[in-house]
Structure formats: C-alpha cells, structure tokens
Structure 1
Amino acid sequence: MANSLQSEYKAVRLIAVSNRTAIDPNARAGGLSVALWDTLKASNGLWIGWSGKIKDFSSQKATLASDDGVDFALCDMSKSQYEGFYLNYANSVLWPLLHNRLDLVNFETHDIGPYRDTNVQFANAVAAHANLDDFVWVHDYHFFLLAHELRAQGWTGQVGFFLHIPFPSPDVFRALPEASELARAICDYDIVGLQSTKDVTNLKQFLSEDCGAQYIGEEDVMVFGRRVTIRHCPIGIDTLSFKAATKSEPAKAASRKLRKFSGDRKLIIGVDRMDYSKGLPQRFESVSKLFDNYPETHGATSFIQIAPPSRSIVDEYIQLREELDGLCGRINGDYGDLDWMPIRYLARPYRREEIAGLYNLADVCLVTPLKDGMNLVAKEFVAAQNPDDPGVLILSQFAGAAEQMTEALIVNPYDTEAVAKTIFRALHMPLDERKFRWAALNDGVTQLDINWWRERFFAPYGANASTQSSQEAAP
C-alpha cells in the first residue's frame, strides 16, 4: 500500500509560493517551513519566494537554488517594489484591514499597482518552472491575485491558497476599494483554506452577497463559473519536535538563566512578534492591574514578555515600541523593589529551543491578541508543559486557536480587569484542574498537528504529498 501511495504521490509535484522561504536552514524550525519541507522534499518540489534582497532594479527572472533535496526559485525586489508592495499595500493596507483595524489602513496614499505587479512577477515565476500536473500551493495575503494572474496566462492546473491570518466580516472587507477585485481573484483558486469557521463564514458571505456565489454542499461554492472549495483548515504545530526541543541543551540553558532571575517566584510568560494585533499594551495593563488588585503577588510573581520587533520602519510599529517601553518602565517603577522586577521585557528574538525551555518553566502563558488567525504560541506552550505539573494557558477569545482550545481560560483582552482576575486564578489553580485542562489541550495539539493540517488541506485531492510523507515518517 505504501509503495502504491508513493508512486501515485510522486506523479504530483508541489510548487509552494510564499513571501518568505526556508532556504536559510535557521528558518526551518517551525510553522510553515515544517509543513512544507517534507512534502517538497518527497515530491522533488519547488519553493518560490522572495530572496530577501532589495536591489536598485529587480530582475524579473528568478534565481534558482537547491538545498537538501528542495529546489528554490527566488525573486528579488527593487526598493520601490519593496516599499509599494510589501510595506505599503501588503502591510499598511491588507494587514490592518484583515485584522479589523480600519483606523490603521492607509487609504489616502494606498496604491495597489505594486501589489498587482509583484503578483504578476511571482505568477511568471510559477509559469516558468511549473508543469500543469504540478499542484501550486500559495500562502497568505501577499498573493491574493496570483491564481488570477496565472489563469490570465492560460494556466489550467490546480492552484490552492491558504490564508494564515483572519478574513474579516464582509462590511470590513468592503471598505477596501479593491475588495471586489481581490474577491474575484480568490475565486480563481481551486481550494481556499482558512483558519477558523468564522473566517469561512465571512468569506462565503462576501462571495454570496457581492459576487453571487451559490452554495454547493458543505464546502463548495459555484462562483464566476467555477467551483471553489472553501475549507476550514486550522494550522497546527510540529508537536513531537517541539516537545523534544524542551529537552535540548539550549532549552535547559535558557531555563537555568531565567530561573536565576526569577528564583522561586511564579512566572508568567508572553511571546509575540511586536505587532499591534497582539494586544501587548492591553496585556501590560492587565499585568499592572494584577499587581494593583492583588498585593500578595508583589515580589512573588514575575512577568516576562518576549517581543522581537517586526516591520520596525513602519510608523505604527515605532509607536508601539515606544508605548511598550513606557508601560514597562512605569509598571516597574510603580511596583518594583530592590530585589524584584515585575516585568522583564525583551525586544529581541530567541531560538526556538530557548523559547521551548522558557515555556516549560512558566506557570502561566498569556496569549491575548486583539485579533489573530490562529496563534501557534498557544499550542507551543501546551506542547512544552510537564504533564505532572503543567502551566495554565490564558487565551484571547479573538485568537483563532480559541475555537479549538476551549479548555484554556478564555478572556476578552480589552477587559483588562477581567484578565488580571483570570491571571490570579491561573496562578492559584489546583494541580488536578491544571492537569485536567492540560491533558485535553495536549490531546488536541498532538492529534491536530502540522501533518493533520497539511492532510486536511489536500483531502479533496486524495493521495498526496502529506499522506506520503506522513507514512514515510511513521515508525
């Protein structure tokens, strides 16, 4: 049976398209790279993405490379393209809009032109290197238009799309002047994967109300003369690998280093990119209210927030960094003592293994975004716990993960008083309850892992990359 699956699978090569690739071995630790790497390797696949290089004039011809059995086609960007496509339209228009932050969308100066041009550039790279028998799998909001540009060139092969971030309500999406253009382009994909049932509902509703889509069964719609599958497909983590990371030497070293600082105090942890969608100011205010409302936590509890900067030249991110710097200083000044720093705020990245060690040490993890497609920190924290003495996950109701991880303590991140109360509850939760909640969460994280996600996306296509790589990895 395995040989049959292998021969059937190897007839289909995967072409992955994403803004960033994992050509750098240090970028293969988790998330998308884990989901794609084995599949690409098993199918002699190709990963198309940005080279990371910004040049005076970008070449339309991709640079080819190969590593560990995976081929790459890497596209450069010009400075104007990087600013117009990446910083402006993708991250100053689409990112805030898809996260329900219309107040941050740059409507006045936005220009979809560079976004269209870059989607054409990447579509050309696909057309230059793909065969019609290949399956093209496009990832995230950078490339809503890619399938449409491929179809315009006469491409009749299969193209799938996965959106890693939320899809907003129709009313929010309609605020985008090009909403109809993007929705039309989405319909040129054969399958669209989304993180939550709410995302699925929102996209289907927009297509129904604005594009005349007709529902066919549970997942499919007929729109613009095409049948499109819109699939609920929540992403998971490489659970076994992350559990193993907690036992690595870097994890143990990071844990020892933090323990020297924290001593026997209860430890609360947060790990996020520095982004306004993560609710970091509200989280800091919640911790402040914990110390204000529960004096017994003084000197007995510490909060560590790891928040490496992202898109640090965008104004909103500069302002966020300044706000967090100010909040941390105020809270430490108000509550700290000679031998106790309430908040330890680290605006730098740490290795995956180090983060695993810190999760393993923590008593409580705060995952409180204002809006998130999934949030894999919640799943990583659960995977890193000691079954005999697990920590407690506090999770925002606005994270896609909350739909699956109902045994976490679910909170409204805007209600900072309630979050502070929930933190106090978590710090004093009895061991039996902690173990009960963790066991249920761990079952979900283990069963619905990154391989399950990949297989679920490809399920309509029968035997495929994920099926084969999973069988090959089985003992």
Structure 2
Amino acid sequence: MSRLVIVSNRVASAAEGKSSAGGLAVGVLDALKRQDGLWFGWNGKIEDSADAEVSFHRIGRIDCATTALSRSEYDLYYRGFANGTLWPTFHYRIDLSRYDAREYEGYLAVNERLAGMLRELVGEDDRLWIHDYHLIPFARACRRLGMRNRIGFFLHTPFPSEGILRTVPPHRDLIEAMCEYDLVGFQTRGDAQAFLDYAHRRLGLPMQGDTLRAPSGPVRVGHYPIGILPDDIQSKSKARSRSKLVATLKQGLQERKLIISVDRLDYSKGMVERFNAFERLLESRPAYRGQVSFLQIAPPSRSDVEGYRHIRRQLESTAGHINGRWTELSWTPIRYMNRAYERAALLSFFRASQVGFVTPLRDGMNLVAKEYVAAQEPEDPGVLVLSEFAGAADELADGAIIVNPYDIDAMARALDRALDMPLEERRERHEHMMQLLKDNSIKQWRDHFLADLEPPAVAA
C-alpha cells in the first residue's frame, strides 16, 4: 500500500511534537496525521561517527526515522552551505552569504547519505515529499540510486531572482538538481515564476504552462501557500486567555495598549528596523509615551553562526538605547525577551494585544502573521501590521496594514493607524482575513500539493 514519506532536515522528537510551533513541523505533522506515512531526517544530534544508524520513534500515530550528523557533516552541510550560503542568499542578504566549495561538497554528500538510508525504508509505490533548502539535491541522489518514486519538493523560504541566485557559484547545478523532482512547489506565485524564468532562460528548458520539460522528464511547478488551522488556533488562544501568564502580562501593562512581535532570532526578520519604527512613533506622537508597550519575543537560534550572534548584539544595543532614552519610573517602552514560550502561551499573548507587528525583510510565508489573526477575539480584534515582503502579504493584503520594512517613518505611521483604528473597521478586516485563512488552511495546502504530485492521467 502506498505511503506518504516526508523528508526534512529536522524531525521533531516525541516531546517536540507535542508543542512544536514551527511552520514546517506543524505542516508535516498535519500531513501525516491523516494517512499512513513516515517522517525521515536528522534528529538534531551530532555524533563522532558519520556512520550513524537510523533510529525510530513515534509522535502519536506517526512513524519517525532519524539519524545523527557527524561534526564534519554539521559544519559543512548545515552550518556551512545550507545556513551560511543558501539561507542568506534566499533571503536576499548576499552581504552575509559566503561560499566554500568544500561546504558544497559536504552538502551534496549528506544529501546522498540520507538518500541511501531512506532507500532501505521505502517501497516502490511510496510518494516522497521533500522539504526545504537543506535538501535541494535529494531527488537527484534518489534517482542515482535507482528510485523511481514520485518525488515532490516544497521550498519554505523565498526563492530569489536570477541576479541574486547567480551569486551562489553552483547555482546552475542546484537548479538542475531541482529539475529531478516531479513537482516543485513554492510559497508564492512570484517565487514559482522566478524558478521557471531561471530554468527556461538559463537552462534552456522548454516550458508549457506550469510544466518544464527537463532531461529526466516533466517537472510541474506551482505555488502552494502554507496555511494554519484557524479554528483550532482561535480555540487555543481563547482557552488560555485567562491563564496566569496572561494575567501577569496584563498586570504589567497596567491598561496600556500592547504591540507584540514574535520571531526566531534571525537577521531576516527586520527586528532592528521594527525597534527603530517604534521609537519613531514615540518621537512623533508624544501621546503614546507611557501608554503603549512593545513586546518582542525572540528565541535564540543558530547561535554558532556569526551572523546570528551579531544580530543579537545589535538588538540588545538598540533596545537598550531606546529604553534608556524613553523609560519612565512606571513604564519601559520595549520588553525584549530572548526566550521561548510554548505555542499556546504565544497565542494567548496575541489575543491580549492590540497590534501584531510582523515585518520581516524577506520571508517565505510567515505563519506568525496568520496565527496572530486567528488568535484574536472576533468582537474586539487586534490589527495586523505586515511586511509586503512576507509571503502572507499576498493573501492578507486587504485586511492587514501593509508596510515596507525599510521605511521607518511609514512603519511608525502604520503603528499609529493600527492603535487608533475604530472597532468597526477592525472587525471588518479581521472577518475578511479569517475567511481567507479558513479557505486556505493547512489542509488545503497539503491536499493541493499531494493531488498535484499524483502522476498525470494517461489519455485513453
């Protein structure tokens, strides 16, 4: 019987699976809950030997198969090419990107090793769904091992324009590897078009509609914006709205309005620009001084990558400067917290706030924006201020206040507008966005992608 096999860089542990908030993890868990399947990838551990074996665990009814990386593999594949080259480039930060041919070789080698391990776990009728930039060459590695399964790939990050992509020296090899998939999916129509344009112009592949004619066979290309489960999120945010954590938050606010942002600590999230916009609001609108607080929750990540250590120092310095300038005896403007909260707690924080401030410099989708909307009290909802460079802006443009995160003055004006928005307008915007989230939930994302992964019907 055919199974769905999902491959991602990281597989959640049994403990993580209970409360994981990451967009990829949530999507994978939901996709596998409803049918037989397997989740395969790295377990997050680094071991001395590169000959790590596969171990198994379960998350509910989901079978998970994982393996460790060696220190060398971690340095070359994960910390090196994936997060030192691809991540900054795909987020248009070529100033932070670096290239080392040894790291690229290590990246390819890990994809080949993982493909070899997976081959022993799958049947010939299983469908493979590969996720994200860590595993771009995975299908090619599978094909070289003789695997003829239907294999789809979904990129959770943005896909850059040709001029940006070409700053990665093996750009041609990467795109040729992507053309070994049967289906390649992106978050937005623009990302899908950028890939099609490169493959057609640079590789010279014939194109008919949304399908490329590659040497290995047809490659279907589409956009599949990842969604959430809005009713489930609204229920969870409501259930926790009277928790001790929320009571403590509200007690500290002392009736002040709250602007909230939640991001993994990353230079792509635009947090420095966001801090500066909040300060600009305080400068231009004195009435908000002492009346509005800004809560930024930013759990640390990839602390062994210099770019991440730098952004943390920069944020601490900026928050310290702003608070030093504006703090009063009973009010601190910015609460900047480098710690993680469980997902249900974050949803209750969203519900308690008046503005969700989601302004990445570049983002594939940004599910925080969608979760903020879904977590609101429908009768008295907060307002979403959203970057035009988040994939979510394609869907939420008519309900959110859309901003350019590089325009500090415009973001300050957007905050002013959001804080002062009449209740009737807030309700209308929220209702409109909630309907969009319901129409394009994570279930639709999964079903649409998997339907397109099916082999094309043969004409009678």
- AA in 2 matched with 1:20: R
The residue number in structure 2 matching 1:389 is 380
| Superposed displacement of residue 92, structure 1 | 0.6
Is 1:410 the counterpart of 2:402 in the alignment?
yes
Match of 2:360 in 1: 369
- Among candidates 105, 108, 112, match of residue 116 of structure 1: 108
2:11 match: 21
Evaluate the alpha carbon distance shift between residue 323 and residue 404 of structure 1 in structure 2; reply closer, same or farther with a 3 A threshold. Answer: same
Residue number among 197, 200, 205 corresponding to 2:189 in the alignment: 197
Question: Of the candidates 290, 295, 298, which is equivalent to residue 304 of structure 1?
Answer: 295
**1:257 deviation in Å?**
1.2
Contact 1:286–1:416, Cα closer than 8 Å, also in 2: yes
CA contact (8 A) 2:263 2:298 kept: yes
- Give the structure 2 partner of residue 433 of structure 1: 425
Stretch deviating more after TM superposition (19-28 or 234-243): 19-28
Q: Distance in 2 between matches of 1:79 and 1:23?
A: 20
Distance 1:148 1:253 in 2: 51
For 1:133, the equivalent position in structure 2 comes to: 125
Segments of 5+ residues of structure 2 without an aligned counterpart are 456-460
Question: Aligned-pair distance for 1:110?
Answer: 6.2
How many equivalent pairs are there? Answer: 452
Q: Does 1:443 align with 2:435?
A: yes
Q: CA deviation at 1:45?
A: 1.3
* Deviation (angstroms), 1:59: 1.9
Deviations 1:43-62 (A, max 9, x none): 33111111111111132532
Matched, 1:258 2:268: no
Q: Pick from 339, 343, 352: which aligns with 1:348?
A: 339
Q: What letter corresponds to residue 344 of structure 1 in structure 2?
A: R
Q: Distance in 1 between matches of 2:380 and 2:436?
A: 19
Q: Which residue of 1 aligns with 2:258?
A: 267
- Measure how far apart 1:28 and its partner are: 4.2
Contact 1:73 1:125 in 2 (8 A): no
Distance 1:387 1:399, change over 3 A: same
Quote the offset at 1:236 in angstroms.
Answer: 0.4
Deviation of the 1:249 alpha carbon: 3.9
CA pair 110-258 structure 1, distance change in 2 beyond 3 A: farther
Name 1:183's counterpart in structure 2.
175
Shift of 1:214: 1.7
Give the ranges of 4+ consecutive aligned residues of structure 1 lying more than 6 Å apart after TM superposition: none
Query: What letter corresponds to residue 95 of structure 1 in structure 2?
Result: W
Moved more, 50-59 or 28-37: 28-37
Matching residue of 1:277: 268
TM, length-normalised to structure 2: 0.95
For 1:55, which of 23, 47, 63 is the aligned residue? 47
- Label 1:289 to 1:37 Cα distance change in 2 as closer, same or farther (>3 A): same
**Aligned residue for 1:106?**
98
Contact 1:335/1:342, CA 8 A, preserved across alignment: yes
Q: CA deviation at 1:165?
A: 0.3
Secondary structure, counterpart of 1:230 in structure 2? strand
Partner of 1:5: none
**What secondary structure, in the 3-state scheme, does the structure 1 residue paired with 2:436 have?**
helix
Distance 2:241 2:206 in 1: 53
Q: Provide TM-score, normalisation by structure 1.
A: 0.92
State the partner residue of 1:473: none
Amino acid at match of 2:266: D
Amino acid of the structure 1 residue aligned with 2:193: T
2:211 maps to 220
Task: Give distance in 2, aligned partners of 1:216 and 1:250.
Answer: 51
Q: Secondary structure at the match of 1:304?
A: strand
Aligned to 1:34: 26
Q: Percent identity?
A: 40
Q: RMSD over aligned Cα, in angstroms?
A: 1.6
Would you say the 8 A contact 2:241–2:351 is kept in 1? no
Q: State the Cα distance separating 1:251 from its structure 2 match.
A: 6.6
| Distance (whole Å) between structure 2 residues aligned to residue 270 and residue 43 of structure 1 | 35
**In the TM superposition, what whole-angstrom CA distance separates every residue of 1:142-178 from its partner, at most 9, and x where no partner exists?**
0000000000111111001100000000111111111
1:53-85 CA distance string (max 9 Å, x none):
111113253223334322222111111111111
Partner AA of 1:137 in structure 2 = W
